[in-house]
């Protein structure tokens, strides 16, 4: 209710009465909104917007609306509405109410008529190309009579003009110098919610602040590029003499080594550079979920980034946030990516043994799982060398190693090679750890394992800013990292993961975090 105290807020003779009415409706409650356009998949930048809007409301005992900015029927699809809400809820937030800009089309149209009557808007016939850019010529129709604009606007609504033949423009100069932004344009496209009722649709510049006013939003939070529209936000509410919320800006979240533009992601999919919008090399929220990033990690990342404006963040901070969460959430398991067969010639029991492995070694109260232990096991090829270098501590002739969790130390007795001289099997002996000399290292292993496909991902692009023509003169598609995906089709993993479901996460010991 103290909107009038903020810098740049315009106080009119009716401001205090409007604020009093606003407080009677909200009771002084903080109200925010997350207003995505339903024409694409949300990305990491949207995660910051979700966290700022829902998080600020939650921190102040308020509420947050999920409002779809569905004013462009050409690009909107039902799958995007569904996916947006799914991602908001995946990040842990529940909207106070789900609304649509189209809920208010009747009211917005009525206000447009009032704007014309008050001399603040007019119908213009300049082409889109004419009014683009920073210094377009002024409209020759700016001072046409109110009555004429009212009739022409009604003709626009009735479909008497073709697309691009007429627009409704507001009489104001924005902070970036843009003059008379468009309030309504003609589109002969059925709307997914209102059908053929309308052939004129409001623009963002007109719709946004008025929807905020209708929903009695207290804090209209948006990224820095909208700072140039703050004065027009205040101007429009005051021109119509309606409750005026306050716009606050925060720094946009940009990540290095990636692109998030819908148009560019479509190009990546079309050219086969990635599989789809949820390819784990992308930074859409569906891709991050599929990659295995927990929602808590993304929220923590947004909190650490804060309101700051910065040219670009590396993914290292995001990955650090993921590791902190996964260390507490992902149970340990053993997997071998490049298997080398090992036969234990003096296996202690002719029957198979079972090894008890803690799900979280640092906290054994969180349970255990059983792993088979038989005479044949598999270790990583890289955990064996025929010749020992200085500093190498793993398995080699004359250099035993311990087997994690098994309670045994193995020593090489015989090396078996194929015709090309490649090592294909080791024969070893085992000794109980409590009687053997302490080995220099312990390695992971599997026995009676499951075969699985493992995908190892690296950065999709080679340069920090693949969209920058100075860094990448050939365009972002020329900057693809040829090693961004490595598929291992015959990896081995222990049977403890057999019941795993999609998006379950594990820490494969000594390798990293993996998600189904």
* Residue 58 forms part of a structural domain: yes
Least confident of 6-10, 176-180, 417-421, 497-501: 176-180
Mean pLDDT value of segment 311-328:
91
**In terms of domains, do 144 and 32 share one?**
yes
User: Cβ(344)–Cβ(303) under 8 Å?
Assistant: no
pLDDT tens for residues 375-386? 999 999 999 999
Residues 246 and 346 in one domain: no
Task: Select from 318, 313, 276 the least CA-distant residue to 295.
Answer: 318
* Angle at the Cα of 218 from the Cα atoms of 193 and 6, rounded to 5 degrees: 135
- DSSP per position, 125-187: ---HHHH-SSSPPPPTTTT--HHHHHHHHHHHHTT-S-TTS-EEEE--B-TTS-BS-EEEEE-
- Determine, yes or no, domain membership for 35: yes
More confident position, 467 or 312: 467
Same domain, 64 and 212: yes
Q: What CA–CA distance (Å, rounded) separates 82 from 88?
A: 10
Same domain, 21 and 170: yes
Q: How confident is the model at residue 76 (pLDDT cuts 50, 70, 90)?
A: confident
Which is nearest to 203 in space by CA: 177, 169, 230, 226? Answer: 169
Cα–Cα distance list, 408 to 161, 269, 359, 383 (Å) = 84, 49, 20, 16
279 in any annotated domain = no
Instruction: Please report whether residue 168 resides in a domain.
Output: yes
In a domain, 257, yes or no: no
CA gap 141, 46 in Å, rounded: 39
CATH number assigned to the domain comprising residue 223: 3.40.50.620
Domain span including residue 137: 3-250
Q: Evaluate whether 374 touches 347 at the Cβ level (below 8 Å).
A: yes
- Statement to judge: residues 345 and 443 lie in one domain: yes
C-alpha to C-alpha distance for 63 and 34, rounded to whole angstroms: 11
Task: Single out the residue in 449, 471, 499 at which a domain terminates.
Answer: 449
Model pTM score: 0.90
Same domain for 177 and 77: yes
**What per-residue confidence (pLDDT) applies to 74?**
87
Domain finish residue from 427, 449, 471: 449
- The verdict on 20 and 153 lying in the same domain is yes
Residue 499 lies in a domain: no
pLDDT band at 95 (very low <50, low <70, confident <90, very high): very high
Distances (CA, A) of 192 to 14, 197, 500: 37, 11, 38
- Percent of the chain surpassing pLDDT 70: 99
Token pair of 371, please?
Answer: 């792993």
Q: How confident is the model at residue 352 (pLDDT cuts 50, 70, 90)?
A: low
pLDDT for 314 equals 83
Instruction: Please tell me the predicted confidence (pLDDT) of residue 345.
Output: 95
Q: Is residue 444 part of a domain?
A: yes
For residue 434, tell me if it sits in a domain: yes
CATH number at residue 394: 2.40.240.10
- pLDDT class of 348 with cuts at 50, 70, 90: confident
Please give the distance of CA 249 from its chain centroid, rounded to a whole number: 20
d(CA 468, CA 79): 31
Same-domain pairing of 384 and 245? no
Report the pLDDT value the prediction gives residue 308, as an integer from 0 to 100. 81
Which residues are tagged catalytic? 37, 252, 262
79 phi and psi, to 5 degrees? -60, -30
Q: What is the mean pLDDT of residues 173-197?
A: 90
Please check whether residues 346 and 233 belong to one and the same domain: no
Quick one: pLDDT band at residue 351, thresholds 50, 70, 90?
low
Q: How far is CA 491 from CA 380, 417, 427, 451, 505, in A?
A: 10, 21, 21, 6, 17
Choose one of 250, 266, 285: the last residue of a domain: 250
User: Among all chains, which residue has been given the structure tokens 């080995």?
Assistant: 439
Per the listing, tokens 């090992």 go with 342
Residues 44, 145, single domain; the answer is yes
> Both 102 and 205 in a single domain?
yes
Q: How many domains does the chain have?
A: 2
Asked whether the predicted pLDDT for residue 4 surpasses 90, the reply is: no
Same domain membership, residue 380 and residue 237: no
């Amino acid at each position: 209710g103290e909107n009038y105290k903020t810098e740049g807020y315009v106080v009119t003779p009716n401001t205090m009465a409007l604020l009093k009415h606003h407080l009677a409706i909200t009771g002084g409650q903080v109200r925010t909104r997350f207003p995505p356009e339903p024409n694409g998949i949300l990305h990491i930048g949207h995660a910051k917007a979700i966290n700022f809007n829902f998080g600020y409301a939650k921190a102040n005992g308020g509420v947050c609306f999920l409002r779809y900015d569905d004013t462009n029927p050409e690009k909107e699809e039902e799958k995007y509405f569904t996916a947006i809400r799914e991602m908001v809820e995946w990040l842990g937030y529940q909207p106070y109410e789900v609304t649509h800009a189209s809920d208010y089309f009747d009211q917005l149209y009525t206000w447009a008529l009032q704007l014309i009557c008050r001399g603040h808007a007019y119908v213009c016939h300049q082409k889109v190309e004419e009014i683009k850019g920073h210094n377009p010529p002024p409209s020759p129709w700016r001072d046409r009579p109110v009555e004429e604009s009212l009739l022409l606007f009604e003709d626009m609504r009735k479909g008497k003009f073709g697309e691009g033949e007429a627009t409704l423009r507001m009489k104001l100069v924005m902070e970036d110098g843009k003059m008379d932004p468009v309030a309504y344009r003609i589109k002969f496209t059925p709307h997914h919610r209102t059908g053929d009722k309308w052939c004129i649709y409001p623009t963002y510049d007109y719709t946004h602040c008025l929807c905020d006013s209708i929903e009695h939003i207290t804090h209209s939070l948006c990224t820095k590029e909208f700072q140039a529209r703050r004065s027009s936000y205040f101007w429009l509410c005051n021109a119509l003499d309606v409750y005026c919320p306050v716009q606050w800006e925060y720094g946009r979240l940009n990540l290095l080594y990636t692109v998030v533009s819908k148009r560019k992601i479509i190009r990546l999919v079309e050219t086969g550079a990635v599989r789809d919008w949820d390819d784990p090399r992308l930074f859409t929220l569906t891709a991050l979920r599929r990659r295995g990033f927990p929602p808590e990690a993304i929220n923590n990342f947004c909190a650490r980034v804060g309101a700051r404006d910065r040219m670009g963040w590396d993914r290292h901070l995001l990955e650090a946030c993921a590791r902190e969460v996964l260390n507490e959430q992902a149970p340990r398991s053993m997997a071998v990516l490049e298997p080398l067969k090992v036969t234990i010639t003096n296996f202690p029991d002719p029957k198979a043994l079972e090894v008890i492995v803690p799900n979280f070694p640092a906290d054994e109260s969180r349970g255990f799982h059983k792993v088979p232990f038989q005479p044949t096991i598999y270790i990583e090829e890289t955990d064996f060398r025929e010749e020992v270098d200085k500093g190498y501590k793993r398995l080699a002739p004359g250099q035993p190693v311990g087997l994690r969790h098994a309670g045994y130390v193995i020593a090489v007795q015989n090396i078996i090679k194929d015709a090309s001289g490649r090592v294909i099997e080791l024969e070893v002996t085992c000794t109980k750890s409590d009687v053997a000399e302490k080995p220099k290292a312990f390695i992971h292993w599997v026995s009676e394992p499951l075969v699985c496909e493992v995908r190892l991902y690296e950065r999709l692009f080679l340069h920090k800013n693949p969209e920058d023509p100075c860094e990448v003169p050939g365009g972002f598609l020329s900057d693809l990292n040829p090693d961004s995906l490595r598929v291992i089709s015959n990896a081995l993993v222990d049977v403890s993961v057999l019941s795993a479901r999609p998006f379950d996460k594990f820490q494969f010991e000594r390798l990293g975090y993996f998600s189904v």
